[in-house]
Every structure is written in structure tokens, then in C-alpha cells.
Chains A and B, each alone.
Chain A
Amino acid sequence: MKRFLRQPRPALLPRDAGGERWLCVVVAVLCFLACLAAVGVASADRAAHGWTRQLRAEATVQVRPRVGETGAAAAARAAETLAGIDGVTEAEAMDRKTAEDLLRPWLGEAVLPDLPLPHLVIVRLDRDTPASAPTLSRALAEAGLDASVDDHSLWRGEVERAATLITLLAGAAFALIALAAGAAVAYATRAGLAAQRGVIETLSLNGASDRAISALFQRRYGLLAAAAGAIGAVGAALLIVFMRGLGGSEGLTPALPIAWRDLILLSPCPLLAATVAVISAHLSAMRALAAPRRDRDQ
């Protein structure tokens, strides 16, 4: 008798009914993808904010030299004028070599020497209180410079819209994968109920309530999904660590920068997977148990 008192009581549901091993694999893969999608959302959001912050922190001024003044001199004068304005941290005239370096990949070497290039000044703005485009234009006009200011607002809007779209798409992918995980668990629960109908009837005829039987499935699939969620999250974490290690703070591509803190996003995965599984199992089990017996027998 002591042996029975020492040992934990065995599970009332037999192991691996309804293809639980395969369900574990499917849920682990779905959790892995969901984790990557979650990190993708964070990366896309970070990239979008980075791009817009960068665009907001810079302005480009094109200077047209007056008669008797060289383009380089006009650009230098514009840079000097702009550097003294509140909200500007740095203003630097772009020399021809730098401009040619930027164009070389697009136009090639041959045409560059003969190409008339605009005289540009790169203005770096204060991140917190950036000077506005009208302020810069006014200062240039007051200094007697013929120049036009581009504060990148057109590009910024486009980038913000694109970034928002990417974030939404990644979010939708995450939601769809979570839904698929829930559906897989719900399907497996129903399969488990069908596979164990004899066991369930025996439990029921020995006095188990529907709620107690449902709780057995909830516990079984909740633990299974938690384990699968942990496997998926660890897999995703390893991949993210690999990408971060390989590509630094920009990950494999600057378009989706990865931060170490992204790993925190993966931590709720087992709990979320278990929650989805418990709810799915509860709904499926209660619906199946409440169905008329003759329907279940057919």
C-alpha cells in the first residue's frame, strides 16, 4: 500500500492519444514562426522609427551661386550661416568628391567628371527641437543666398506609411499564426476526444462531470502547448542570437534591426500558447461532451 501512497497518481487520460507528439511538433513550429513574427513587428517598428528619426534630424539645402561666386564658396557660406541657427547641430557643405561617391554606383565612372552637380549643404538638426524649413530658408535669404531647403517631409511621409504597413503586416502574420496554433490545438482536442471516447465514457459512467473531463484535456493540452511554446521560443531565440551575432545591431539587414531586448518578447510564448490551448481545449471538450450521445456514436 505504501507504494501507492508514495507514487504520484497516474494520468486518467492515456498518453499520446490523438497524435499528441505531432501536435507538439506543429505547435512548436507555429510558436517558432509566431516568435519570429513578433520580433519582426518590433524590428519593423524600430526600423520605421529609425528611418523617420533620421529623416527628421536632417535637411538638405541646395545652393545656387550668385554671379561671381563659386558654388563651393556659396555652399561654404550657407553652411556657416546655418550652423549658427538654433535647432541646428551641424551644417556641412558637401564637396564634389563626396557627391560623386554617392552617384558613382548609379551613374558609373564615365559621365561623372562632366556632370554638373548641385551644390549641397547637409544640415543636421537638433533631435529634440529641430529648426523648421522656413527658419532655415529665412536665414539663408537674410544672408543673401539663393537656396532651397528640403526637410525630407515628402520622403518621411512615404517612409512612415511604408513602415506602418510593414508593422501591420507583421502583426497580422503574428495574429494568423496564433490563430493557426489555436485551431491546431482545437482540432487535436477533438481528435483526442474521438480517440478516447471509450475512456471518456468510462470516466463519465463512474461519476466524472463534463467539467472534470474537460479539465483533463485542458491540463493535457495546456502543458503540451506550454512545452511546445517553450521549444518554439528557444528555437527562435537561438536564430535571433545567431542573426544578432552575425550582423551586429542591424541584424542581417538594416531594414530589420535586431536588439537584444527583443528576446524578452519571446518569454510570454509558452504562457500564451498554453492559454490558447486551454481555452481551445475547454471549448472543444465542452461542445463535444454536450453533444447528444447518439450524434457522438454516429
Chain B
Amino acid sequence: MNPTPPRPAELESAPQTVRLQGVGFGYADTPGVLRDVNLILPRGSFHFLTGPSGAGKSSLLRLLTLSERPTHGEIHLFGDDVTHASRRDIPALRRRMGVVFQDFRLLEHLSVFENVALPLRLAGRRTEDYAANIEEMLQWVGLGHRLHAFPRALSGGEKQRLAIARAVIGKPRLILADEPTGSVDKGMGVRLLHLFQSLNKLGATVLIASHDEALAERSGASILRLDKGRLVEGAA
């Protein structure tokens, strides 16, 4: 965890996991979803991305997962310019990220174990190589007893923890989470925040998009604030 926001000079000199430079984004019918966003996330830093609904938080995350292309500006991930990364190069970049979706995006036909194993399986790893790691991870997020359950049998909080376990099982260098506490009670929200802080302590760069400003303030993390597509606080 990085409780104190680093100063701009420190940001410039530190190894950067994410750098956005003059990034703009919009759709044909809704231009200006993001406007001239400049942002640096140093390696191992912890950030909250806040702002009202429609401010562009989810769009920014979609740009970082390379699900969308910016209309202008540059996106650098892990030190490389990926603004125009080819579809062939994207999977390798995504394997270095862990993404927690607001709607969990769990595969309903796979068990808890298989859902967590997904990134490893897609990376070509064999079950015997990762089975123990998954059990350990699920113990860590409090789902050790639900290995064989299917997502439909889980509560909202359990689903959220399962989604987080899947996002971090591959030891990603960048963790992106979209409203990870949106569907859980306050106690669970704090517990999940501690989970992200633990992952951050292990070296991952964490960016959490959340409209829960109180939670962001309480976390002590660097706060980036978006409003009407502009980064009004925490810009590089």
C-alpha cells in the first residue's frame, strides 16, 4: 500500500506501470467521454479513481485493459507504448494485468476452483502446476470451503472475492478494479480494501475505480478524481 500520494517529481522518475498522455476517448454518439487525460501510476502504487456516475471511470479502465482505443493521446503500459498495440500483442499484455469487474464476469458453468484457474489455464499451465496455489489463494480470500461450488450458489461478497482471487492468481503487475465494493456491505467493503492493500504490498500497482469517496479517503491511497471526462485531481 502507498498511503501518501507521491509528488509529481517522484512520479516522473519512478518506474511507471501506467502512463496516459493527453488521452481522449468518446463514442460516435457520445464524444468527449474522456478529455486530455494525463496520468502516471508508478510501479507498486495504490490509487483510487473517483468521480460521479458518467465521469468516465469505467471508460478509463476499458482503455487500460485495451478493450477500447483512445481517439487521441498515448497509452503506455509497463514502459511500452501500447496505443496502437495489435490484437496479437494484447493477450500477452492482459496476462500482466488482473481485472476485477463491477459485474464480476464469473463463468457460471465453471466451479470456484476453475474460475480462479482461468488465467493460468489460458496461459497454458497444467492443473498439477497450479492446483495448490489456487487452494491457497481461495483460503486467503475466505473461500477455501467453496472450491467445488458454482458462482450461482455464492453470495455477492463471495462472488466479489472470487473475482478478486481470479484477478490476482497470476501475480499481475497491474490490478484494475471497477467498483469492487459496489455490491457488498460496508464491513465487506473494508475487508476487500484490506485485500487490495495486501496485494499492493506484494508489489502490484493497484487502481480501484469507485464512487465511494469515503472508502477512498479512509484507504489513505492516492486519489484521482474524474469529472466530465477530465482528471481534476491527481493528474500527472
Contacts and interface: CB of A to CB of B under 8 A. Distances in A.
Contacts of A205: 65, 67, 94, 99, 101, 105
B119 A206 contact: yes
27 contacts: A1-B131, A1-B132, A3-B148, A4-B127, A9-B114, A9-B127, A10-B110, A11-B109, A12-B107, A12-B118, A201-B105, A203-B118, A204-B91, A204-B94, A205-B65, A205-B101, A206-B99, A206-B119, A207-B95, A208-B91, A208-B122, A209-B88, A209-B91, A210-B87, A210-B88, A289-B87, A294-B27
Interface of B: 27-28, 65, 67-68, 87-88, 91-92, 94-95, 99, 101, 105-111, 113-114, 118-119, 121-123, 127-128, 131-132, 135, 148, 166, 170
Nearest to A294: B27
Interface in A210-239: 210, 212
Nearest to A207: B95
A5 B128 contact: yes
Contact of A14 (B105, B109, B113, B128): B109
Contacts, number: 72
Secondary structure dominating the interface of A = helix
Interface of A: 1, 3-5, 9-12, 14-15, 198-199, 201-210, 212, 289-290, 293-294
Nearest to A11: B109
Contacts of A201: 67, 105
Nearest to A201: B105
Contacts of B113: 4
B110 A207 contact: no
Given A207-B122, A293-B68, A202 B127 contact: no
Given A9-B127, A10-B114, A199 B91 contact: no
Contacts of A198: 105
A206 B105 CA distance: 11
Contacts of A208: 91, 122
Most B CB contacts (10 A, CB to CB) among A5, A204, A294 go to A204
A15 B131 CA distance: 24
